Amino acid sequence: MERTIRALTAAGTLAGIGVIVYGLALFLAAGSIPALLVAVSVLIVGPVEDVLQNIARQRVADRKAQEAWVVLVDRATSLAFLVLLLLTLYSIR
């Protein structure tokens, strides 16, 4: 089971990197705003969320407050992701 989790984590990371790199490349090459919005949305729910949750785990001493911050980061990044996807759809209409 642990091996499967590691494999899925690695595959998700590679897919995320691919989306980000390709989205940025499309934006830089052709000015594609939808591609940029998708790349930024993946950045937010990927590495940005991970960094913010790790900061919360390291800097908040109280375990209950720590978990509250982790949930807050999760909800905020999920909302940002969905808003960016909505903007993506709006930009291609």
Residue 11: predicted pLDDT: 96
Work out the average pLDDT over 30-41. 97
Q: Which tens digit of pLDDT belongs to each residue from 76-89?
A: 999 999 999 999 99
Say what the pTM is: 0.88
Q: How far out from the chain centre does Cα 85 lie?
A: 12
Work out the average pLDDT over 32-56. 96
